[in-house]
């Protein structure tokens, strides 16, 4: 019991340590301008809406949110669709190089973005895709597809072959067996991959910065980073915007945490 209590206290301490910066930023967003610069700092804010109103009305935060929804949602749908087909092929058609190819996909997903920034920018420039949604979506798909394919392959491998064979005997084509049998059974893994891709696209900054220079197309991370003025640092507006940008991810994680944990755990055990 003593060891369990110590472990619980340690876990709570780690959680508080990780959440403290985000909690401080959230509290900062509710302060008044006077409280923001108060010495010593005021821990409990007076809950003013000034910074949120400024971020939404004067800084164009709603436009950045809409852009992020479009970009992250489109990239997630296309990545999961392509990754599912590729993962099914890798899982069902065992070839001598499949294992090496999966390891290569995992290695590619860990490649530093700065190393490929130049070629990606040149390619998008030649396609005339700079300052377009399709340009940044294409970059996000390229970044997320290897990891999504690797995750989905693990789940598709665990779908019993006998179920597909029975469907094929009953008259289903290979593609019908894929979307009628394999996809529903692998729903936890597909959802896990989709959520990870969405979070990565929602938070991605580097490629959004170099591809989207038009303020009307910029996503949340870039828009918030460009809040500072020439002589001032609007910490209140930055805190309010960052809080609003984090809320959708927190809600998604809380609503679907069981599915996320089940999906990741299943992939780890079954792989």
Q: Return the sign of the alpha-carbon dihedral for residues 177, 181, 186, 190.
A: positive
CA 44 to chain centre: 31
Same domain, 65 and 128: yes
| pLDDT 10s digits, 130-162 | 999 999 999 999 999 998 998 888 888 888 888
Write the CA distances from 49 to 24, 36, 56, 59, integer angstroms.
16, 13, 11, 14
| pLDDT 10s digits, 92-132 | 887 778 888 888 887 887 888 888 888 999 999 999 999 99
Instruction: Give me the CATH number covering residue 97.
Output: 1.10.3720.10
In this prediction the pTM is 0.86
Same domain, 239 and 227: yes
Same domain, 221 and 97: yes
| pLDDT 10s digits, 8-46 | 788 888 878 888 888 888 888 898 888 888 888 888 888
- Domains of the chain: total: 2
Q: Which domain does 2 fall in, by range? A: 1-48
What pLDDT shows up at residue 107? 83
Same domain, 139 and 38: no
What integer is the mean pLDDT of 159-184?
84
Same domain, 23 and 157: no
Same domain, 24 and 92: no
Cα pseudo-dihedral 26, 32, 34, 36, rounded to 10: 10
Is residue 223 within 8 A of residue 64, CB to CB? The reply is: yes
Same domain, 30 and 89: no
């Amino acid at each position: 019991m003593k060891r369990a209590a110590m472990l619980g206290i340690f876990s709570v301490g780690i959680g508080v340590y990780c959440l403290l910066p985000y909690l401080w930023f959230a509290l900062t967003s509710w302060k008044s301008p006077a409280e923001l610069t108060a010495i010593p700092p005021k821990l409990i804010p007076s809950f003013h809406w000034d910074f949120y109103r400024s971020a939404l009305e004067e800084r164009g935060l709603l436009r950045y949110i809409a852009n992020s929804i479009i970009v992250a949602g489109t990239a997630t749908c296309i990545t999961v669709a392509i990754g599912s087909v590729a993962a099914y092929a890798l899982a069902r058609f065992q070839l001598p190089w499949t294992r090496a190819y999966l390891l290569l996909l995992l290695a590619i997903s860990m490649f530093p973005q700065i190393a490929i920034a130049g070629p990606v920018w040149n390619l998008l420039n030649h396609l005339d895709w700079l300052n377009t949604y399709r340009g940044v979506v294409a970059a996000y798909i390229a970044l997320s597809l290897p990891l999504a394919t690797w995750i989905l392959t693990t789940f598709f491998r665990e779908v019993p072959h006998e179920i597909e064979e029975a469907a094929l005997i009953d008259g289903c084509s290979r593609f019908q067996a894929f979307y009628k049998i394999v996809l529903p059974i692998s729903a936890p893994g597909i959802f896990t991959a989709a959520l990870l891709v969405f979070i990565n696209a929602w938070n991605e900054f580097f490629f959004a910065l170099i591809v989207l220079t038009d303020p009307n197309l910029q996503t949340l991370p870039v828009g918030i980073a460009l809040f500072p003025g020439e002589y001032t640092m609007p910490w209140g507006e930055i805190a309010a915007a960052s809080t609003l940008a984090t809320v959708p991810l927190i809600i998604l994680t809380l609503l679907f945490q069981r599915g996320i944990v089940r999906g990741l755990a299943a992939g780890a055990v079954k792989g």
